[in-house]
């Protein structure tokens, strides 16, 4: 008798529990974001920080109830910078129900892009991959949030222009770059701009892997540049700083592309790097309220998604900034078109982002169906020996030239895809 009663009670309890959990599931189906990153090969100088930032921010948002009541689920997988494994990851995550895909590797993004375009899936392509993908009319599903390399290059020139009393004629600008597609990308737009503004542009390529830049800098010394725009990554900046010292070129002429972080700074030395400038669309440092909240709510309680030292790194902030916009896009999508979230709703959500700066963490961006980059605003920061000091406000210049370059390449793409 007693055992029977127990049995009934237990089964009732079970049934109730299952009903409750089913209800909970219906209420809170997760929004899935797929991060297929290169965590083991070429992009390891950035991927750990970015993926950690994304997971930290997702935790913070989930504590507050997620995106419009739906928890965020971040799926991370390594693809080792191999296109084949990136495609595998994409196909797997697609079947797992991911709504947004991010590959953070130029070779892999290039390889997955035709599939994402064909399937109609939202692909985030911030700071890597094809620059012309900001053209939302051709690349309907690709969102390269942030500035293009073309945009960064012309913003550098605009900064130099303001620094030389709005007169570029006769100013000597050296373009130092690693001789592969990443470094070669800004060349054509810089040449066009040099013809328009009349400054003296010279190119200084150095070969992969960038450890030996001696020949470029010997020529540089003879050129006596007024400014050096540098398209280099991580340790290449350190090598460049050494060569600058050797050739007696002062540090304050050096404007780095956005790929310059606190690790490189420490390797150059905080004192030596004084005067160095960097183009960025994200605010560096740990002063932002969101980062302070992450430190307090997660890392002080031992709930962080990785090592605490990764937080003092602009790439961490960059990850937060990129995914603030992505989560904002998802929020807008659910708010506008309701649950369940589909790729098409997600795309429209992303295209509804207006003047969003993640509470002052990054340059304000407005994504539209035409412009998937968000406006391409950046600013120049200078290292003063202890902290980064903004030299300008957020700005973007020569938009006509940038869009001319974008349209030229995207038209080529549009022509070749039926």
Partner 1 sequence: MLFRQAGIFHTDYATNRALFPLPADRWMIIILLLLALSAPFTMSSLLLSTNVLPWLVWTSAALGLNLILGWAGQFHFGYAAIMGIGAYTAVHGARNGIPWEIAVVLGGLMASVIGVVFAFAALRVKGLYLALSTLALQYVMDWVISHVPAISGGTQATLQAPGMRLLGQAVTSEIALYYVALGWCLIVTVFMLNLRRTALGRALVAVREKDFAAAVIGVHSLYYKLVAFATSSFIGGISGAILIFTFYRAATPEQFAVNVSIELLAMVIVGGLGSIIGSYFGAAFILLMPGLMNSLIAWVAQLMGAALGVEALAHIPHAVYGALIIVFLLVEPMGLGKMYNNLRNYLLVWPFGYARK
Provide the binding-site residues for partner 1, judged by CB under 8 A: 39-40, 48, 51, 76-78, 80, 82-85, 87-88, 91-92, 95, 106-107, 110-111, 113-115, 130-132, 180-181, 184-185, 187-188, 305-306, 409, 412-413, 416-418
* Residue 229 host element (H or E): strand 227-231
By C-beta, is 138 or 380 nearer to partner 1?
138
Task: For the CB of residue 249, give the shortest distance to partner 1 in the complex, in Å.
Answer: 28
Residue 172: which residues within 8 A CB-CB, separation 6 or more? Answer: 199, 200, 202, 223, 224, 225, 226, 227
Q: CA 243 to CA 380: how far, in whole Å?
A: 23
Maximal C-alpha separation, the chain: 100
Residue 403: which residues within 8 A CB-CB, separation 6 or more? Answer: none
Place of tokens 């009393």: 165
Q: CA 257 to CA 156: how far, in whole Å?
A: 9
Task: For the CB of residue 394, give the shortest distance to partner 1 in the complex, in Å.
Answer: 26
Task: For the CB of residue 84, give the shortest distance to partner 1 in the complex, in Å.
Answer: 6
By C-beta, is 212 or 384 nearer to partner 1?
212
Q: CA 129 to CA 126: how far, in whole Å?
A: 8
Task: For the CB of residue 155, give the shortest distance to partner 1 in the complex, in Å.
Answer: 18
Task: For the CB of residue 163, give the shortest distance to partner 1 in the complex, in Å.
Answer: 28
By C-beta, is 93 or 173 nearer to partner 1?
93
Phi and psi (nearest 5°) for 7? -60, -45
By C-beta, is 44 or 218 nearer to partner 1?
44
Phi and psi (nearest 5°) for 8? -65, -45
Q: CA 33 to CA 199: how far, in whole Å?
A: 45
Alpha-carbon separation of residue 80 from 28, 87, 110, 145, 195 (angstroms):
33, 12, 15, 23, 41
Closest CA to 241 of 222, 208, 267, 261: 267
Cβ–Cβ under 8 Å, residues 405 and 188 = yes
The token pair at 262 is 């606190």
Q: What is the DSSP letter of 305?
A: S
Closest CA to 66 of 23, 93, 102, 29: 29
Task: For the CB of residue 407, give the shortest distance to partner 1 in the complex, in Å.
Answer: 13
Q: In what order do the strands lie in the sheet with 31-37?
A: 72-78, 31-37, 100-102, 122-124, 142-143
Task: For the CB of residue 342, give the shortest distance to partner 1 in the complex, in Å.
Answer: 20
By C-beta, is 252 or 404 nearer to partner 1?
404
Do you find a cis peptide bond into 218, omega within 30 degrees of 0? no
Task: For the CB of residue 148, give the shortest distance to partner 1 in the complex, in Å.
Answer: 11
Q: Is 231 helix (H, G, I), strand (E, B) or coil?
A: strand
Task: For the CB of residue 158, give the shortest distance to partner 1 in the complex, in Å.
Answer: 21
The token pair at 307 is 């090592």
Residue 8: which residues within 8 A CB-CB, separation 6 or more? Answer: none
Task: For the CB of residue 408, give the shortest distance to partner 1 in the complex, in Å.
Answer: 8
Task: For the CB of residue 308, give the shortest distance to partner 1 in the complex, in Å.
Answer: 13
């Amino acid at each position: 008798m007693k055992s029977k009663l127990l049995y009934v009670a237990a089964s009732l309890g079970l049934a109730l529990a299952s009903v409750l959990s089913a209800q909970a599931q219906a209420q809170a189906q997760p929004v899935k974001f797929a991060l297929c990153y290169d965590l083991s090969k070429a992009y390891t100088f950035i991927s750990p920080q970015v993926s950690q930032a994304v997971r930290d921010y997702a935790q913070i948002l989930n504590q507050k109830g997620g995106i419009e009541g739906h928890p965020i689920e971040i799926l991370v997988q390594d693809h080792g910078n191999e296109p084949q494994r990136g495609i595998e990851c994409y196909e797997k995550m697609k079947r797992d129900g991911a709504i947004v895909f991010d590959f953070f590797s130029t070779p892999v993004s290039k390889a997955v892009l035709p599939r994402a375009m064909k399937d109609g899936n939202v692909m985030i392509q911030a700071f890597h991959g094809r620059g012309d993908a900001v053209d939302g009319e051709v690349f309907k599903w690709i969102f390269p949030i942030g500035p293009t390399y073309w945009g960064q290059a012309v913003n550098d020139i605009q900064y130099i222009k303001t620094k030389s009393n709005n007169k570029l004629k006769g100013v000597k600008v050296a373009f130092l770059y690693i001789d592969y597609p990443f470094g070669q990308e800004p060349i054509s737009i810089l040449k066009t701009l040099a013809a328009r503004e009349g400054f003296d542009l010279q190119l200084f390529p150095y070969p992969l892997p960038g450890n030996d830049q001696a020949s470029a800098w010997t020529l540089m010394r003879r050129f006596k540049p007024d400014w050096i725009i540098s398209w280099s990554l991580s340790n290449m900046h350190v090598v460049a700083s050494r060569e600058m010292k050797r050739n007696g070129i002062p540090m304050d002429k050096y404007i780095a592309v956005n790929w310059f972080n606190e690790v490189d700074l420490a390797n150059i030395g905080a004192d030596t790097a004084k005067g160095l400038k960097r183009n960025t669309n994200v605010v560096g440092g740990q002063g932002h309220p969101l980062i302070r909240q992450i430190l307090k709510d997660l890392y002080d309680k031992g709930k962080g998604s990785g090592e605490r030292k990764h937080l003092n790194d602009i790439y961490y902030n960059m990850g937060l900034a990129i995914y603030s916009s992505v989560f904002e896009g998802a929020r807008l999508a659910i708010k506008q078109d309701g649950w369940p979230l589909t790729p098409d709703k997600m795309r429209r959500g992303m295209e509804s982002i207006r003047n969003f700066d993640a509470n002052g963490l990054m340059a304000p961006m407005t994504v539209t169906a035409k412009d998937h980059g968000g406006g391409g605003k950046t600013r120049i920061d200078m290292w003063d020996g202890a902290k980064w000091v903004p030299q300008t406000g957020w700005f973007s210049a020569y938009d006509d030239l940038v869009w001319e370059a974008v349209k030229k390449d995207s038209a080529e793409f549009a022509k070749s895809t039926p």
